[in-house]
Amino acid sequence: MHLPFIRAVPGKQLVRTVGHFIMQLADHLSILGLSESASVSEVKAAYRREMQKWHPDHFSSEPSRQKVATERAKKINAAFEYLSELYEKGSLPRSTRGTKGNHQSRPQSHENYRTQHTYNGKSFTPGFPDASVFEVFVKSSAFISAGYNPETRTLYLKFIGNRIYGYLDVPESVFYAFLAADSQGQFANRHILRQYPCEYHEQSAETKP
């Protein structure tokens, strides 16, 4: 993984800028257990693996461990958003393994990048209307993220375009099967969208993850 192209700036400022970016990038890679050569698919796979391990709902019977897991899961989300946004913007080269040719586009300048909560070039609001629900990113062709409230058995799906629907009386196993599916779109069409009643939820700008 090459560093983003850094435009010319005064010496001391350049050292601070590059140093900050390297530290930020290294921290996010470390949280997901990745090296600098990680591809987009490896970032997604690592995110799935770590979120499956640290999702707060797995520790609901142990409040102290759940608190630790929640903080860890927040860092995992932050790392995935940061890295996936940089890949999408072309600021980090995509892996060429398994593709024809060996060309990579020149990365853009994002020496002081901050997560912008975007996907496919469009902004979305983090979190769900139910603040107790932890957001899990899927970033597929149809969905941005999903979340589940085990007490109300409500499955929240955030579609492309920041549209949120809550599906009612959904078993928890369906939520985890959706996250593990090779294609969340196909799984949702077959097992969720036509199977459970739903409610549309307005997403306010103040909603937080």
pLDDT digits 0-9 by tens, 61-78: 999 999 999 999 999 999
Confidence (pLDDT) at 100: 42
The predicted model scores a pTM of: 0.79
* pLDDT tens digits, one per residue of 163-182: 999 999 999 999 999 999 99
Confidence (pLDDT) at 113: 81
Q: Which amino acid is at 178?
A: F
* pLDDT tens digits, one per residue of 21-45: 456 888 999 999 998 889 999 999 9
Q: What is the mean pLDDT of residues 136-140?
A: 96
Confidence (pLDDT) at 185: 96
* pLDDT tens digits, one per residue of 12-25: 443 444 444 456 88
Structural domains in the chain, sorted by start: 1-95+112-116 (1.10.287.110), 125-209 (no CATH)
Q: How far is CA 113 from CA 42, 63, 159, 171, 177, in A?
A: 21, 35, 25, 39, 34
Q: How far is CA 82 from CA 10, 88, 167, 177, in A?
A: 26, 10, 29, 25
Confidence (pLDDT) at 178: 97
pLDDT band at 160, cuts 50/70/90? very high
Identify the three-state secondary structure at position 65.
Answer: helix
Q: How far is CA 51 from CA 136, 137, 146, in A?
A: 8, 9, 12
In the predicted model, is pLDDT for residue 93 greater than 80? no
Confidence (pLDDT) at 22: 55
Identify the three-state secondary structure at position 199.
Answer: strand
Q: Which two tokens stand for residue 78?
A: 């932050």
